[in-house]
Amino acid sequence: MPLVCVCSPKGGVGKTTLAANLAYTLARSGSKVLAIDFDVQNALRLHFGVPLSDGRGFVAKSAESPDWSQSILTTGGNIFVMPYGEVTEEQRVVFEDNLTKDPNFLARGLHTVLNYPGLVIVADFPPGPGPALKAMRDLADLHLVVMLADTASLSLLPQIENDRLIGGALNQRTGHYFVINQSDSRRHISRDVTAFMEQRLGDKLLGVINRDESVAEANASQQAIYDFSPVSAAAFDIELVSKRVAALLDIKVGGGEMHAPIRSR
């Protein structure tokens, strides 16, 4: 059960889009993939064709049941999604309070999926050091930190390098790696920041994703970039990142059929 966490010290870096396309790409290789959304914006589901009007999710249900897998939605193929859901402010506060105070809350909620053979989990987190990101430290296998090729991201790089984002290592297993998103070779500052990060991060950098207008168009049509524009630069870059993630975690492709617990959408 490899568990990949997609996070960032700042917002607006394309983190959710990368998480969704990583899930799509791993699924294309034959893996069964579950995408989990820990961001209150509840946007990850939209990348998998879940209607905007569908407000189901695991956060509200977490107060009723210790097994969050009952909130999994089918999306077709090898991909399943567990949305955050539409919640009240009170429900959000209770959920985050449980994450902070109960060290076993997350493990209980994810117990079923964590023990499902051959399942790959891609979890998307809100920017910054939220309670879900901190609670995931003992369960995660790898953290993928998304940065932009700009000076704002560059200024936050020491937070990750020095384990200051959550006050310690993001996980105790494979560790954390970086992806530079929306690198634009037409812009001088973007080229310079990309080159600097490539040199500084070395093997910790899993890939550079070039700025590509087809990504926004794919998002608007609720499609994966590979399905929307398979020959685009972004599709090639994201596939390369996914292959490196799979190699790091020794993800075996071609898992068996996934049955219950799944809720049909």
Domains, in order of start, for the chain: 3-143+212-249 (3.40.50.300)
From first to last of its 265 residues, the chain has per-residue pLDDT tens of 899 999 999 999 999 999 999 999 999 988 999 999 999 999 999 999 999 999 999 999 998 888 999 999 998 789 999 999 999 999 999 999 999 999 999 999 999 999 999 899 999 999 999 999 999 999 999 999 999 999 999 999 999 999 999 999 999 999 999 999 999 999 999 999 999 999 999 999 999 999 999 999 999 988 899 999 999 999 999 999 999 999 999 986 544 443 333 333 4
> Are 265 and 54 spatial neighbours (Cβ–Cβ below 8 Å)?
yes
DSSP codes of every residue in the chain: --EEEEE-SSSSSSHHHHHHHHHHHHHHTT-EEEEEE--TT--GGGGGT--TT----HHHHTTT-S-GGGG-EE-STTEEEE------HHHHHHHHHHHHH-TTHHHHHTHHHHTSTTEEEEEE--SSS-HHHHHGGGT-SEEEEEEESSHHHHHHHHHHHTT-SSSS-S-SSS-EEEEEEEE-TTSHHHHHHHHHHHHHHGGGEEEEEEP-HHHHHHHHTT--HHHH-TTSHHHHHHHHHHHHHHHHHTPPSS-----SS-B--
Say what the pLDDT of residue 256 is: 41
Say what the pLDDT of residue 91 is: 96
Per-residue pLDDT reduced to its tens digit, 46-101: 999 999 999 999 999 998 888 999 999 998 789 999 999 999 999 999 999 999 99
Q: Which residue, among 87, 78, 140, 73, has the nearest Cα to 110 in the 3D structure?
A: 140
Say what the pLDDT of residue 253 is: 53
Q: Which residues partner with 121 through β-bridges? A: 3, 34
Say what the pLDDT of residue 1 is: 80
Residues 32, 161: Cα–Cα separation, whole Å: 32
Residues 202, 179: Cα–Cα separation, whole Å: 12
* Distance from chain centroid for Cα 247: 17
Say what the pLDDT of residue 265 is: 42
pTM of the model: 0.93
